[in-house]
Amino acid sequence: MIIVLSRDIRPADKQALTAFLESKGFRLREIQGEQETVLAAVGIVPIDVRQVELLPGVARVIPITSPFKLASREVRKEDTTFPVGPIKVGGPRIVVIAGPCAVESREHILEVARIVKDSGAAMLRGGAYKPRTSPYAFQGLGAEGLAFLKAAGEATGLPVVSEIVSPEHADLFRELVDVLQIGARNMQNFELLKRVGALGKPVLLKRGPAATIQDLLMSAEYLLAHGTEAVMLCERGIRTFETYTRYTLDLSAIPVVKKLSHLPILVDPSHGTGLREKVPPMALAAVAAGADGLTVEVHTDPQAALSDGPQSLYPDQFEKLMRDIQALAPVLGKEVARLPEREPLVLADPSGRVPPAGDLSVGFQGERGAFSEKALLAYFPEGAVGVPHAEFRDVFEAVLTGKVAFGIVPVENTLTGSIHQNYDLLLQYPDLRIVGEKIIRILHHLIGLPSSSLEGIRQVYSHPQALSQCALYLERFPAWEKTPFYDTAGAVAFIAREGRPEAAAIASLEAARAYGMKVLKEGIETNSQNYTRFVIIALGEAAGTLGAPGAIAAGRGANKASLVFATANTPGSLFQALRVLAERSINMVKLESRPIAGKPWEELFYLDVALPEAEEPFRQALEELKGVTEGLRILGIYRS
Ligand code: PEP
Ligand code: MN
């Protein structure tokens, strides 16, 4: 049964409740959800639920109807997520595990590890104990193979995954691997499940070739009941009458599992098809169907592989597959889990504007002297180092992979409106949060070579937005050729590089300084009320996720929150959402709608709200909003 705890349960009541249930023989698991905290009590214990309902601190008691309990969505409404080393599994991420079927030698596993890492794999796989159909086939290198795998993991930073076939090996695996794989043949080896579950480490549980989805979830229940909370399920093909492929990959298991369970589900297209050329299409189909990840066999020389060569991808095939998955991920609102290039930065004081000493690299889009760089220098104290990037997406990617500690991107201009691409990117990179904002005045100057004069100018280069913002001034010089350029500061750099005295650029004072150029005319923008709002983005739990303990506390000192949600396509649904804020006098400072890709005429709403002094009204509002909106996400809680 599920015991929903009152929000204000006293510690003493909670203790009495758990003692009572344990005395009756229940196994208990506390689950903190977004909406409520529940105790899952499992066991075959005859009890009148009213006895529990009447205990202090109990809000209500719900029987669990499915045969699997801890694995069931009934117990946990949100998707389970957990870390495997630096990689987060579950939620809006796609985790790709890659490597050879078997560890073949120290050198080989290291070589494959480097290759799959370079292509973007998040974890390394390799069997050391191989359950083979024939006793005469290669059985794996055993403990030595595990040591080679671990060494390759350490050399590359990739967490490692390997199959355990016997409870006797539990101690060895605990030491040497990050994820214990239970193979298809052992899915119902219950003694193995109990021992592995009790280790408490992450497990990859593969579906048996003749197992139903319910069987798979019952096996997951064994793992959960014995101690681990980190279980990834894996569909790897089932036996059917079809013989062309090695098994029949049951992709419909993905949505079925998603409905029944909160556990992440991966897909193994390598064993599922047994044929190399069928692996990439099925891998992409699995991702499109909602899989939380893949496990893929990759070998440098599949012809010579000691096992499963025919289904192993060549390195360049794997590289292409990863690029395709990268392209597909944003369509699904997901990101591909990546190994950070260094430890994510934890903001010492997310409320303050001063990040911890040390690394202050800040990615921005554009060339040196761009308005983004000006904004970051204004936001961060002395010592921040701006790192230029070609595209906005590159800035997000650099923050995600830890190449820079922060990023800064424009989201809104007072004359030209929102920069939608950055709103979309905020959604596509759910591990990044807004941690601050900076509004700067945009002052445009006409800039030329030190030797240039206004009279000699024939051509003007700048970003189209800057050209349009200076339209009135430019009208005075009808003979000037107006040439759009990708970036304001980039235009200055271009003229400096080309040494063209008859050309000028429209950009900031900083850009003129950065390239040793001369300001020919100051402040040429049509409207002096030209401001751009930038947001500072960072990786990590600094701002927390909705409902996570401390999510709001993490933003203490914060006075603004940015949210995004969709509403049902029914009359008054947006009104219902806004009412939640209005009733608590929470001031909405911005509301913006964006079409949802792939869902014509459905909209996402981006909302900025001023945070009230007290935390509770906002916390309550978030909880209520969850009920009347879809896919509510906090983009950041920060100080403006
Ligand atoms: C494997 O992943 O190497 C393996 C043997 O898979 P399965 O248990 O799915 O056959
Ligand atoms: Mn294999």
User: What pLDDT digit, counting tens, does each position of 338-380 carry?
Assistant: 887 644 333 333 333 334 445 688 999 998 889 999 899 888 8
Rg (CA), the chain: 28
What do you get for the CA distance between the two ends of the chain, in Å? 45
Please report, for residues 117, 270, 338, 636, the alpha-carbon distance to residue 158 in angstroms, rounded to integers and kept in the order given: 7, 20, 10, 29
Check if 560 has its Cβ closer than 6 Å to any atom of ligand 1.
no
**Please, what sign has the CA dihedral across residues 409, 412, 413, 414?**
negative
- The predicted pLDDT at position 42 comes to 86
Average pLDDT score over residue span 64-69:
87
Q: Is 271 in the pocket of ligand 1 (CB under 6 A)?
A: yes
So what's the pLDDT on residue 544? 38
pLDDT of residue 167: 97
Q: For residue 307, which atom of ligand 1 is closest to its CA?
A: 3
Q: Which of 4-13, 39-48, 437-446, 484-493 has the lowest mean pLDDT?
A: 39-48
Q: What is the pLDDT of residue 87?
A: 94
Joined together, the tokens standing for residue 277 give 């050329």
For residue 237, the ligand 1 atom closest to its alpha carbon is: 9
Distance 102 CA to ligand 2 centre (A): 7
Q: Are strands 37-42 and 2-5 parallel, antiparallel or unpaired?
A: antiparallel
Q: Is 206 in the pocket of ligand 1 (CB under 6 A)?
A: yes
- Render the burial of 530-558: b for 16+ CB within 10 Å, e for the rest: bebbbbbbbbbbbbbbbbeeebbebbeeb
What pLDDT is stored for residue 358 in this prediction?
Answer: 55
592 has which bridge partners?
Answer: 606
What mean pLDDT is predicted for residues 234-255?
97
126 touches ligand 1 (CB under 6 Å): no
Q: Which atom of ligand 1 is nearest to the CA of 131?
A: 5
Least confident of 81-90, 201-210, 329-338: 329-338
- pLDDT interval class at 550 (50, 70, 90): very low
What's the CA-to-centroid distance between 573 and ligand 2, angstroms? 50
Centre of ligand 1 to C-alpha 183, Å, is 5
Share above pLDDT 70 across residues of the chain, in percent, rounded to a whole number: 93
Nearest Cα residue to atom 6 of ligand 1: 183
Stretch among 182-191, 278-287, 348-357 having the lowest mean pLDDT: 348-357
* Nearest ligand to residue 206 Cα: 1
Instruction: Choose from 7-11, 42-46, 179-183, 596-600 the range with maximum mean pLDDT.
Output: 179-183
Strands in 431-502 per DSSP E: 432-441, 445-448, 459-462, 481-484
> Residue 279's pLDDT band (boundaries 50, 70, 90)?
very high
The 10s digit of each residue's pLDDT in 579-601 is 999 999 999 999 988 887 777 77
How many A from CA of 226 to the centre of ligand 2? 27
Pick the atom of ligand 1 nearest to 184's CA.
Answer: 8
The predicted pLDDT at position 600 comes to 72
Structural domains in the chain plus CATH codes: 2-62 (3.30.70.1140), 82-336 (3.20.20.70), 445-521 (3.40.190.10), 554-640 (3.30.70.260)
Expressed in percent and rounded to 5, the helix, strand and coil fractions of the chain are 35, 25, 40
CB distance 183 to ligand 1 below 6 Å: yes
Please identify every residue annotated as catalytic: 532, 534
Q: Which atom of ligand 1 is nearest to the CA of 295?
A: 2
Nearest CA to ligand 1 atom 3: 101
pLDDT of residue 347: 38
State how far the Cα of 529 lies from the Cα of 307, in Å rounded to an integer. 68
What is the 133 CA–ligand 1 centroid distance (Å)? 11
Chain-wide mean pLDDT for the chain?
Answer: 90
Residue with CA at minimum distance from ligand 1 atom 10: 184
CB-ligand 1 contact for 201 (6 Å cutoff) = no
**Which range has the worst mean pLDDT, 79-93, 126-140, 374-388?**
374-388
447 bridge partner residues: 505, 519
| Mean pLDDT lowest among 348-362, 511-525, 608-622 | 348-362
Atom of ligand 1 nearest to the CA of 186: 8
- At 427-475, the pLDDT tens digits run 889 889 898 899 998 999 999 999 999 999 999 999 998 999 899 999 9
pLDDT grade, residue 603 (50/70/90)?
confident
Query: What separation in Å is there between the alpha carbon of 5 and the centre of ligand 2?
Result: 45
pLDDT at 557: 65
pLDDT in tens, 291-336: 999 999 999 999 999 999 999 999 999 999 999 999 998 888 888 9
**Residues 6 or more apart in contact with residue 256 via CB below 8 angstroms:** 213
Higher pLDDT, 284 or 555: 284
Pair 446, 521: CB distance under 8 Å: yes
Instruction: Kindly give the distance from the C-alpha atom of residue 155 to the centroid of ligand 2, in angstroms, as a whole number.
Output: 23
Between β-strands 417-418 and 432-441, what pairing exists: parallel, antiparallel or unpaired?
unpaired
Residues 6+ apart with CB under 8 A from 366: 372, 373, 388, 389, 487, 488, 489, 490
> What is the pLDDT at residue 381?
66
The pLDDT of residue 31? 85
* Ligand that comes closest to the CA of residue 236: 1
- How far, in Å, is the centroid of ligand 1 from the Cα of 129? 11
Q: Are strands 179-182 and 630-638 parallel, antiparallel or unpaired?
A: unpaired
Query: CB of 127 closer than 6 A to ligand 1?
Result: yes
